Amino acid sequence: MGKTRVYKLATELGISNKELISELVSLGYPVKNRMSTVDIDEVFKIRETIIAKLKEAEKKDIKPKPATQISETVAVEPKPHPDKAVETETVLKETTAETEEALEVIEIRENITLKEFAEKTKCTPNELMKSLIKKGVMATINSPIDERIAKVSEHIFKKSFKFIPLEADEIFDDILEEEENADDYVPRPPVVTIMGHVDHGKTTLLDAIRESKITEKEAGGITQHIGAYEISHEKGPVVFLDTPGHEAFTAMRARGAQVTDIVILVVAADDGLMPQTIEAIHHARAGNVPIVVAINKIDKPNVNIEKIKKDLTEHDLAPEEWGGQTIFAEVSAKNKIGLDNLMEMILLQTEIMELKGNPKVKGRGTIIESKLDKRRGAVATLIVQKGVLKNGDSFVAGSTYGKIRALLNDKGTKIKNAEISSPVEIIGLSSVPAAGDSFIVVNNEKEARHIATARQQKLKETFLKRSVTRITLEDLRNQIDEGKIEELNVVIKADVDGSVQAISDSLLKIGSDEVRIKIIHSSVGGVTESDVLLAEASNAVIIGFHVRPTEQAATLAGNEKVEMKLYSVIYDVINDFKAALEGLLKPRLVEKRLGRVEVRQVISIPRAGVVCGSYVLDGNIKRNSDARLVRDSVVIYEGKIASLRRFKDDVKEVQSGFECGVVLENFQDIKQGDIIETYYFEEIARKL
C-alpha cells in the first residue's frame, strides 16, 4: 500500500506540519513528526475531515487577518458535483457584479501554477492554499490555476481575474520560446554519427571505440545497447549514435530532428570511394553537418591513402595539408590503431564548431530509439539537447507523454540528472514515441497530457493535409510566386553515369534568378528508400531516368507524398522542369500501375519466340497493355504485352496469385527473376 509523508500532506492542505500532526493525532493516527507517514488510502478521508474542520473554524472566526491581505468575507461553497457548478457560478457572478467597479482586473493565463498565481496576488502560496481549502478547493503549490480556482480567488482577493484559457499549442510555444540568456550557454560534447560504404568498417569502428574505453574503465563491463553511448576522452566526452549509416541519419532529419553534430565518414583504405561513400557525403551535406574523414583498414597491405584524399578533394573534402578544411584521421578499427587520434580530431572539430548548449532552461531532447519492454513498459533513449533532465520531470515526447520514473545511462546505471548531449534511457512513458520525436519537459503531468492529446489530434490533421507541404512540379510556380522556395532540390537516379551527368548539367542550366536548381544527390541505380528519405528530409523531387523505385521506395514515396518523376527521354526531363519553373506544365499523363509480374521461367518456343512463364505478384496483367521489363531496378525494355496465356488458352487478363505465359512485343532478352510492370496512362489536368 502506498504512503505519503506528513509534511507533503501539510503542504497540500496549506497548514503547518504542527497543525496537521495535532489534527492527525486527535483523529487517532500514530504520527510523530513531519517525516511520519500515512497510508494513501487514508489521505482522502483525512483531507475531507480536515477541510470540514477548517471551515467550521472559519465560521467561528470573525477576526479578519490583516497580515495576509486576504479577505474571507464571501463564503463560497465547495463544488461537490459538476451539476452544481452552474449554480455556484451564478451565485458568484451575482456577488461579483455588485463590486465589479471596485475590482482590479488581472489577467491570468491558464496553466500558471498556484505558486506563480500567488506571486501575482502578492501573498504566499501557503496562505493562498489555505484560503482555497477553506473555500473547498484543493490545490497544491504546483497545481495549475483553472477557471474555478480563479473564480473562487476573486472572492478571496476582492480582485477580478480575467481567465484566459490556453490552446495546447500556445502552452507549447510558451515552453519552446522560453527566454534564454546568452551567458548561460556552456560548451557541450559533440554527438557523432558514423557513415560510409558497406563493409568499410563502420560497425567495427563503433565497437572498437566503445570497447577501448570500457575495458579501461570497467574491466569486463557490458554496455547496454541504448542507441548511443558516451566515451570519455581526456580532452572531453564524445557521444556516438549507435546506428551507423545514412538511412538512420536521414530518417531522423526527415522527421525534423537534427541530432548529429559531426559525421565520421569511414572510407576503407583498400577500397577507396564507393557509391555509398558519395551518398553519405550528400546526406551529410544536405543536413549541413560537417564531415571528419576516417580512413580505415590502414593495417592492410597495398593501400593508397593519397589517392583517397585526392578523390575526396573532388567532392570538396580536401585535407588541411592540401589547403582544405576537412579533418582526416587514419585508423585501423580491427587492430585498434589511431582511435585516440580520431577522438582528438573529433574534439578538434567540436572546438572549431564551438558547440554549446543551455543547461538553465527546461529539459529538451530528441528520441533516438524506443521500444516496449515487457518488464518496464515503454522505454526510450534520447539525447538531451537543452536543460537538465531530472527524475520526476513531466514531459511530452511526440504525441505521447509521461513523467520520468527512472533515468539510466548507457551503462545501465541509474542516474539522477542527465545533462546536455548525454544519451539517456528513460522509463515512465505512457506509450512508445518514434525515433526523431522531440522530447520536451513541461510544467506538470496534466499539461503534458493536454499537449500530447492536442498533438495527436494535430498529427491526424496534418497527415491528411500533408500533400500541400511537399513540393511538386505542378505547384512549383505557385510556390515560387509565394516566395516559399528559392531553391528546387532534386535527387537524380539513372541507369548510367552518362545520363546522370547529362541530366545534372542540363538542369543546372535551366535555373532562373528566382529559383536555383540544386542537386542534392545523384547516382547510378534504382530509386531506393534512402533516396526517398533524403528527398523527404530536404523537400526534394526525385528524378528517375531509365530506373524504377524499389517496392519499399515506391511505398514510402506514396505515403510521404514525395514526388518521384520517372523518365525515359532526357528531353522530357528538361522540358518538364522548364515548364514547371515557368508555370506552364501541360496536362500531364500520369502513369497508373496495373500490376507486377515475376518471370519464373524463360521458355524458347520455335515461331512463338520467348515465352515468360510468369507469376502475377500483385494487381493484374492485361493483353495489349503497356509494359516494361525491369531487372535490378533498371528498365531494360518498354513496349507492350503481345500475348497472354493461361495454360494453352489465350486470355484477356490474369489476376494476382495466378501463373501465366507472357510474350513481350519485339523483345526476347528475358531472364529469370525479371519483373514485368504493366500500366496505362491517365491524363490529369494541371491545377492552378
202 binds ligand GDP (CB under 6 A): yes
Strand 291-296 versus strand 327-330 pairing type: parallel
Q: What is the closest distance, in whole angstroms, from the C-beta atom of residue 9 to ligand GDP in the complex?
A: 57
Least gap, CB of 348 to ligand GDP (angstroms): 22
Residue placing its CB nearer to ligand GDP in the complex, 242 or 529: 242
Query: CB of residue 297 vs ligand GDP: minimum separation in angstroms?
Result: 4
Closest distance to ligand GDP from the beta carbon of 270 (Å):
8
Three-state SS letters, 158-214: CCEEEEECCCHHHHHHHHHCCCCCHHHCEECCCEEEEEECCCCCHHHHHHHHHHHHH
Q: Which of 133, 195, 333, 440 binds ligand GDP (CB under 6 A)?
A: 333
| Shortest Å, Cβ 300 to ligand GDP | 5
Smallest separation (angstroms) from ligand GDP to the CB of 333: 4
Residue 638 touching ligand GDP (CB under 6 A): no
User: Cα–Cα distance between 543 and 532 in angstroms, integer?
Assistant: 11
Task: Please report whether residue 18 would count as binding ligand GDP according to CB under 6 A.
Answer: no
Binding to ligand GDP by CB under 6 A, coded x per residue (else -) over 295-314, reads: -xx-xx--------------
Q: Does 334 bind ligand GDP (CB under 6 A)?
A: yes
Of 336, 267, 337, 354, whose CA–CA distance to 308 is shortest? 267
Residue number with the shortest CB distance to ligand GDP? 201
Q: Which residues 167-196 are close enough to bind ligand GDP by CB under 6 A?
A: 196
Q: Of 24-32, 200-208, 412-420, 625-633, which part binds ligand GDP (CB under 6 A)?
A: 200-208
- Please identify, using beta-carbon distances, which residue of 202 and 213 lies nearer to ligand GDP: 202
Is 203 near ligand GDP (CB under 6 A)? yes
The three-state DSSP-derived secondary structure of 388-419 is: CEECCCEEEECCEEEEEEEEECCCCCEECEEC
Interactions with ligand GDP, residue window 261-300 (CB under 6 A): 296-297, 299-300
Q: Which of residues 664-683 bind ligand GDP (CB under 6 A)?
A: none
44 SS3 class: helix
Burial of 68 (0-12, 13-18, 19+ CB in 10 A): middle
Residue nearer to ligand GDP on the CB measure, 153 or 204: 204
Pick from 198, 496, 608, 684 the residue near ligand GDP by CB under 6 A.
Answer: 198
Q: Which stretch binds ligand GDP (CB under 6 A): 156-164, 179-187, 328-336, 489-497?
A: 328-336
- Smallest separation (angstroms) from ligand GDP to the CB of 204: 3
> How far is the CA of 128 from the CAs of 92, 378, 507, 574, in angstroms?
19, 38, 69, 72
C-alpha cell recorded at residue 515: 529559383
Q: At its nearest, how many Å lie between ligand GDP and the CB of residue 334?
A: 3
Q: Cβ closer to ligand GDP: 223 or 276? A: 276
Q: Are strands 356-357 and 414-415 parallel, antiparallel or unpaired?
A: unpaired
* DSSP-assigned letters across all residues of 299-321: TSSS--HHHHHHHHHTTT--BGG
Tell me how far, at minimum, the Cβ of 254 lies from ligand GDP, in Å: 22
Least separation in angstroms between residue 338's CB and ligand GDP is 9
332, 409, 538, 678: which one binds ligand GDP (CB under 6 A): 332
Look at the alpha carbons of 206, 212, 218, 219 in this order and tell me if their dihedral is positive or negative: positive
Binding residues for ligand GDP restricted to 441-470, rule: CB under 6 A: none
Do 428 and 403 form a contact (C-beta atoms < 8 A)?
Answer: yes
Figure out which of the listed residues 14, 189, 190, 201 binds ligand GDP, where binding follows CB under 6 A.
201
Q: Retrieve residue 10's grid coordinates.
A: 501539510
One-character DSSP codes across 98-126 = HHGGGPPEEEEETT-BHHHHHHHTTS-HH
Q: Is 425 left (phi over 0), alpha (psi -120 to 50) or beta?
A: beta
Our finding on whether 204 is near ligand GDP (CB under 6 A) is yes
Beta strands in 22-95, from DSSP E residues, in sequence order: 37-39
CB 641 within 8 A of CB 651: no
Q: 180 vs 199, which CB is nearer to ligand GDP?
A: 199
Cβ closer to ligand GDP: 253 or 297? Answer: 297
Which residues of the shown chain bind ligand GDP in the complex (CB under 6 A)? 196, 198-204, 244, 296-297, 299-300, 332-334
